[in-house]
Amino acid sequence: MRNKKNQIFFNLPFSQKMKNKKGVNLLTENLVYILLVVVFVVIIFFAVVRVGEGAGVYEKIYAKQIAYTIDKSKSGMEFEIYLGKAHSIAEKNNFEGKIVRINNDENKVTVNLIKGEGYSYYYFSERDILWDIKDKRLILEIKKGESKNE
């Protein structure tokens, strides 16, 4: 059974029910809070996605992967590495240069997916790498290198 006080409360219009004694509109306050939480969560979500799909991250992944492949290989081997994701990131960032460069003199793999220096990683193998990019694929041909060691 409802008491008298409750009966008065239930007879009030909706907007009146949501006000406490001090006149603070609890509904508005909570809605604002929920809205701000949602906005915050959405911002964090897109920030995480952006970091995860960022050009910097993929530059590192590809440079390390290519250097690792070269170091794992033996002379005479040939490899193809698919660069589809790298190409799409470079296109998104309006980068039109070479996305992969291999410098045989410095034993260095450099990957560029945005304008800038890119990310470089060194391979320790003394090899000559013949490389080319065709149809979004990096083709590597590993040759026994002429020693640059003194």
Partner 1 sequence: MNKKGYYRFADIGMFFLTFAIVGVAIGVGIYAFYFQAFDTRESDANNLLERLEDFLIKRGELNKNVLERNFNIYEEAELNKDVINEFYYFKINIRGLNSGVNKFIEGGQEGFEVSCNLEGRKLPKCARKNIVLEDYDIKILTGSNQGRGE
Q: Which chain residues interact with partner 1 by CB under 8 A?
A: 20-22, 24, 26, 29-30, 32-33, 36, 40, 44, 48, 51, 57, 60-61, 64, 68, 71-72, 75, 106-107, 121-127, 144-145, 147-150
- The b/e string for 60-93 (b: 16+ C-beta within 10 A; e otherwise) is eebbeebbebbeebeeeeebebebeebbebbeee
Minimum distance of partner 1 from residue 83's CB (angstroms): 18
Minimum distance of partner 1 from residue 126's CB (angstroms): 5
Which residue matches tokens 């996605």?
49
DSSP state, residue 116: S
Q: Which is nearer to partner 1, 93 or 125 (CB)?
A: 125
Q: Residue 135 corresponds to which amino acid?
A: D
Q: Which is nearer to partner 1, 49 or 91 (CB)?
A: 49
